[in-house]
Chains A and B, each alone.
Chain A
Amino acid sequence: GAVVSQHPSRVICKSGTSVKIECRSLDFQATTMFWYRQFPKQSLMLMATSNEGSKATYEQGVEKDKFLINHASLTLSTLTVTSAHPEDSSFYICSASFSEGETQYFGPGTRLLVL
């Protein structure tokens, strides 16, 4: 149980385009979902926390207008990287938990490469 999927697993796009990444909890309802970013040889950095039906809470230094997060249902959250640039190339990982403060279950990640 507690499986989280992400789609796509890998995406290559041109600079200036927008990319949407989906995170789904497959066998449970996730009240809270998280989005992380991991650059090579660096730690996972929390970008934002979202609760179903509410606006996401962004970490300091993360532009909310650039990284749009929607958590419209208990099984789906989306992260849209708007006007992507090469410096946005990274490994984006989502996680989901049954409720706030509970164990996080990680998705397999999405590797984004912006040319």
Chain B
Amino acid sequence: RKEVEQDPGPFNVPEGATVAFNCTYSNSASQSFFWYRQDCRKEPKLLMSVYSSGNEDGRFTAQLNRASQYISLLIRDSKLSDSATYLCVVTSYNNNDMRFGAGTRLTVKP
């Protein structure tokens, strides 16, 4: 079983749609959780951290469910510029030990 699993997609949605991604992790001792965004042929960039209480940043909402060992990312009012691959990242001890999911590809269409 992979340490971090994501639905690879692709998710094809129209502009303005709401889309949600889930990610599951296998290590119950995991400490920190993040969503990264990776554009084609580019490096990953931090989108947001994920906290137990859930957190929101504009159109993006992230939630963590420790009991079920999954995290989610909700994107509201999708924009064309949101098209990218979204990577779920989990660390078990500190930021030295980042484990990446394979990513979920999102395409927002006009």
Interface residues of A (CB under 8 A from B): 32, 34, 41-46, 49, 91, 93, 97, 100-104, 106-109, 111
Contacts and interface: CB of A to CB of B under 8 A. Distances in A.
A111 B41 contact: yes
B95 A101 contact: yes
Contacts of B106: none
B102 A108 contact: no
Given A41-B8, A42-B102, A43-B4, A106 B45 contact: yes
Interface residues of B, number: 17
The 8 closest A-B pairs by CB, nearest first: A101-B94, A43-B100, A106-B43, A43-B102, A44-B100, A109-B43, A108-B43, A101-B96
Nearest to A4: B43
Given A42-B102, A43-B101, A109 B42 contact: yes
Contacts of B98: 46, 104
Interface in B31-75: 41-45
19 contacts: A32-B96, A34-B96, A41-B8, A42-B102, A43-B87, A43-B103, A44-B87, A45-B100, A91-B41, A93-B44, A97-B95, A100-B96, A101-B95, A103-B95, A104-B95, A104-B98, A106-B45, A109-B41, A111-B41
A81 to B, nearest CB: 19
Contacts of B102: 41-43
Contact of A102 (B93, B95, B101): B95
Interface centre among B96, B101, B103, by most A CB within 10 Å?
Answer: B96
Contacts of A93: 43-44
B90 to A, nearest CB: 11
A34 B91 CA distance: 14
A42 B105 CA distance: 11
Contacts of B4: 43
Interface centre among B41, B43, B87, by most A CB within 10 Å?
Answer: B43
Given A43-B102, A102-B95, 20 more contacts: A34-B96, A41-B102, A43-B101, A43-B103, A44-B44, A44-B87, A44-B100, A46-B98, A49-B96, A91-B41, A93-B43, A93-B44, A101-B93, A101-B94, A101-B95, A101-B96, A103-B95, A104-B95, A106-B44, A108-B42
